[in-house]
Chains A and B, each alone.
Chain A
Amino acid sequence: MSDTHEKIVFQKPESVIDRPTHYCPGCHHGVAHRLIGELLDEMNLAEKTLMTTSIGCSVFLYNYLNVDAVEAPHGRAPAVATGVKRSRPDHFVFTYQGDGDLASIGMAEIMHAANRGEKICVVFVNNTVYGMTGGQMAPTTLIGQTTTTTPAGRCQTHEGAPIRMTEIIASLGGVAFAARGSLDCVKNIRQAKKYLKKAFEFQLNNTGFGFVELLSACPTNWKMTPLQANERIQKEMIPYYPLGVYKDVSEEGGVC
């Protein structure tokens, strides 16, 4: 073999721990973890990061990212992260939360941390279902979607409409950056990373609260193959949860 034409183009980020994944095949939690790991490396943040993990399939995030971490009760990660950031303001602090965690039990905590303009980042993984507990309805479950607690499909008159968190968060005063990305294809993954980077930068500049929603697949509870799950994101989720930046105070010229 020639010794001149081989070049390593893709490696595990330093901040990601080398271990077998516990996620299901086709699950996007791993992709989201990797994006965060890449950014921690690129932005040289690993040694100053304090991560707040939450409840759900991603509770084991701390097994995959090589940074200091505290585990929060279900939904309370924004409050725990508030305490972390207020006590160690020079550190980089982020939470990682599922839709059940953030938009259901933790609705009050996310709204108020955002509204206070806490200098933290929130990574919000929206897979329209409670993954860990076996596929029950989430606040983000789409109309008509069957789950173990909406066996006939979510019905708006009975269960209410799916909540669009990024739009709500973007409307709050303390928010510096709010965007929705998706992890279904390479183009969207690249875009999602840019959103995460922007949110991270806003914290580092001490500007305000950063929020990035990531549309993600849960093939297991959707009862789909990984490819079908990616298709569902494109065909069903993105039309209801449009991608893009919903708030960016640098573009508005505003300061929180």
Chain B
Amino acid sequence: MTKKAERIFVKGNEAIARGALAAKCRCFFGYPITPQNDIPEFMSSEMIKAGGDFVQAESEVAAANMLLGAGATGVRAMTSSSSPGLSLKQEAISYMAGSEVPAVVVNMNRGGPGLGDIGPAQGDYYQSTRGGGHGDYRHFTFGPGTVQEAYDLTIRAFDIAFEHRTPVLILGDAILGQMKEPITPWEPEDVDENGGRDWAITGRDGGRDKRLIKSLFLAEGELAEQNKHLQAKYDAWTDLAECEQFETEDADLIICAYGSIGRIAKTAVRKFRKDGKKVGLFRPITLYPFPSAELKALAEQGKRFLTIEHNLGQMLDDVRLAIRTVTDSDFYPIYPGNLPTPDELEEPILKCLEGK
């Protein structure tokens, strides 16, 4: 990787768009929805300058299906949206999972259900990590916590999408998208722009056999085989699970939080540490695969857990699954519609620490 010396001051949304361009994303398909509009707006000029193409689709349904078409040709392509828009994109995402088309999908999570609000929330965790559309599948999902991480993980997302022929999700929220921070952009040197060489539809140039990208498997046993193959792929992702551990070593209580809330919780943890209180933070960076082994290891050391999410308890399920043979986790929900501060988290953390 080449480091560019120059630091720039950008919003999380723009960092994602810049990361995609650095990863040689060459097609972007979008539809406006707050709080992610900076991404398509940036792409509408910068993608063209980079020699790619940008389409403002007629709907999220169409945008995601355009992504399916571009991904099927082996070109690096992306779409972005926010919660109600992601629900519409799920049709194509299920087809992409079924026909193993690589692509990157960004969701800057807002409050729901339904039209909800335009503020930050984490209510789309289930939808993102379980496979939000129909059928048995999973999305590889990143949950960046800082603007720099949003940039870095977008680049990683393209590599994983192509290496594993799968849609990869980046799950941010309105805080991350709208927050400005300095970042150091970099460009990967070894982007394989021919990633789809063996399978993509590129025309039968030279008279090779035709290729077909499809998710329909009607012959007896054929769909079972495809699902077995997909499941094996998802199982192998376990090795790619990633997390940040902050002050966990000697901690009595571990806060489990991801994304923007992980970052806010980190500030609260710092404050507790200043007061000599043994609190640590466990922040999953990949939400699927979930870093279960790392979390279980902490449970085996006798630590207690408090899961804090900007929803009513979704990642909590994954935390509990990881530590279920050892212990349980308490939970503190931040209701969507509220903007949490580190101070607000102190009371529930203190309560847990004191075993109340």
Contacts and interface: CB of A to CB of B under 8 A. Distances in A.
Interface string B200-224: 0111111100111111100000000
Interface string A68-82: 111111001001111
B79 to A, nearest CB: 10
A218 to B, nearest CB: 21
Interface in B40-81: 53, 55, 57-59, 61-63, 65-73, 75, 77
A83 B91 CA distance: 16
A88 B73 CA distance: 7
B137 to A, nearest CB: 15
A109 B26 CA distance: 22
A76 B65 contact: yes
B99 interface: yes
B23 interface: no
Given A83-B77, A86-B53, A109-B58, A70 B91 contact: no
Given A83-B66, A83-B71, A87-B75, A71 B61 contact: no
Nearest to A45: B203
B95 A73 contact: yes
A76 B214 contact: no
A76 B62 contact: yes
A135 B70 CA distance: 33
Contacts of B73: 50, 83-84, 87-88
Contacts of B58: 108-109, 111-112
Contact of B29 (A48, A83, A88, A89): A83
Given A59-B216, A72-B65, A66 B92 contact: no
Contacts of B62: 76, 79, 82, 108-109, 112
Contact of A50 (B55, B68, B203, B215): B203
A83 B69 contact: yes
B68 A80 contact: yes
A45 to B, nearest CB: 9
A247 interface: no
B203 A48 contact: yes
B91 A73 contact: yes
Given A82-B55, A112-B58, A112-B62, A67 B69 contact: no
B201 A84 contact: yes
B241 interface: no
B206 A47 contact: yes
A59 B99 CA distance: 15
Interface string A54-72: 0000010010001111111
Given A82-B66, A83-B67, A83-B69, A68 B203 contact: yes
B41 to A, nearest CB: 19
Given A76-B61, A79-B62, A84 B72 contact: yes
B204 A46 contact: yes
B212 A68 contact: yes
Contacts of A62: 210, 212, 214
Given A76-B61, A83-B69, A67 B27 contact: no
B27 A86 contact: yes
Given A70-B214, A108-B58, A79 B207 contact: no
Contacts of B215: 71
Query: How extensive is the interface on chain B, given as a class?
Result: 35 or more
A49 B95 CA distance: 22
A172 B68 CA distance: 25
A67 B210 contact: yes
Nearest to A105: B61
A68 B204 contact: yes
Contact of A80 (B66, B212, B216): B66
A216 interface: no
A37 to B, nearest CB: 13
Contact of A86 (B65, B70, B95, B202): B70
B69 A81 contact: yes
A68 B70 contact: no
Nearest to A17: B210
Contacts of B29: 83
B70 A87 contact: yes
Given A62-B212, A112-B58, A73 B92 contact: yes
A66 B204 contact: yes
Given A87-B70, A112-B58, A47 B27 contact: no
Given A69-B212, A108-B61, 18 more contacts: A47-B207, A48-B203, A62-B210, A67-B204, A69-B201, A70-B214, A71-B213, A71-B214, A73-B91, A76-B62, A79-B57, A83-B65, A84-B72, A86-B53, A86-B55, A86-B66, A87-B77, A108-B62
Task: Give me the 8 closest cross-chain CB pairs, A-B, nearest first.
Answer: A83-B69, A83-B66, A79-B65, A68-B201, A87-B75, A83-B70, A80-B69, A71-B214
13 contacts: A48-B205, A62-B214, A68-B201, A70-B69, A70-B214, A72-B68, A76-B68, A80-B69, A82-B57, A82-B62, A83-B67, A87-B70, A87-B77
